[in-house]
Amino acid sequence: MNETALKNDPAGLIETLRRNVRSKIDGINSDADAEIKRIEDQVRDEIENFRAAEQAKSEKIIQYEEGKAANLLSIELKKQNLEVINGFINSVLTGASEIIRSDRRYADFLKQCATAPLKDITGRSMTICISPRDAEFSEMIMNEASKKCSNIKIRIIQDEGIITGGALVIDDEPEVVFNNTVERIFYRKSDELKRVIMRLVNEYADGVESR
């Protein structure tokens, strides 16, 4: 249909205009759909990246907290084990003191504890402290100490702080203390005792687990 015919046919012109407008609208809609899809894809990617980043951050926080909790648990278990071991050592100490005292060699042991430091006394007087439970050995200790230090003034006192036996010797003038009490002897050996006890406990635990 030529231009002259279109001018003489308004209906055809209107239809042509409609097709052109529809084509423009379809093009606009198509561009809009493509832009919307592009934006949706971009937003989806950003959301996924954010989610992945937040998940990684959460996992790190969880790992950190789990590690911290494990460390705290390990420390607490070690602390509890140490408390148990210390309690056990104290009970051993208490029991050992009774065993030591009941041994017929205790008198010689006590005499050795009281007189061994005499060679290191530099003052003119000294004090030997013993447990009230060992008062019966005072004369024996005095006689032995007097033999070794005849020119030194010696006194023996009962000290309630000494519970498990042995003796505390004090060089009075320089105020030097020689601690030969059973408590102190055990204290010197406490690290070794702890290692032995821990080894025995671990061996027992391993034996129980393997059953």
CA dist., res. 146 & res. 18, Å (int) = 135
Query: Looking at residue 167, what is its pLDDT?
Result: 95
Q: Report which of 113, 185, 177 is spatially closest to residue 145, judged by C-alpha positions.
A: 113
CA dist., res. 27 & res. 67, Å (int) = 59
Please give the model's pTM, rounded to 2 decimal places: 0.53
CATH number for 105-188 (one of 3.30.70.370, 3.50.50.60, 3.30.2320.30, 3.30.200.20): it is 3.30.2320.30
CA dist., res. 158 & res. 111, Å (int) = 15
User: Residue 63 burial by CB count (10 A; 0-12/13-18/19+): exposed, middle or buried?
Assistant: exposed
| Range picked from 23-37, 43-57, 179-193 for highest mean pLDDT | 179-193
Q: Looking at the DSSP assignment, which residues form a beta bridge with residue 169?
A: 128, 178
pLDDT in tens, 149-182: 888 899 999 999 998 899 999 999 888 999 999 8
Query: Looking at residue 116, what is its pLDDT?
Result: 93
CA dist., res. 77 & res. 105, Å (int) = 41
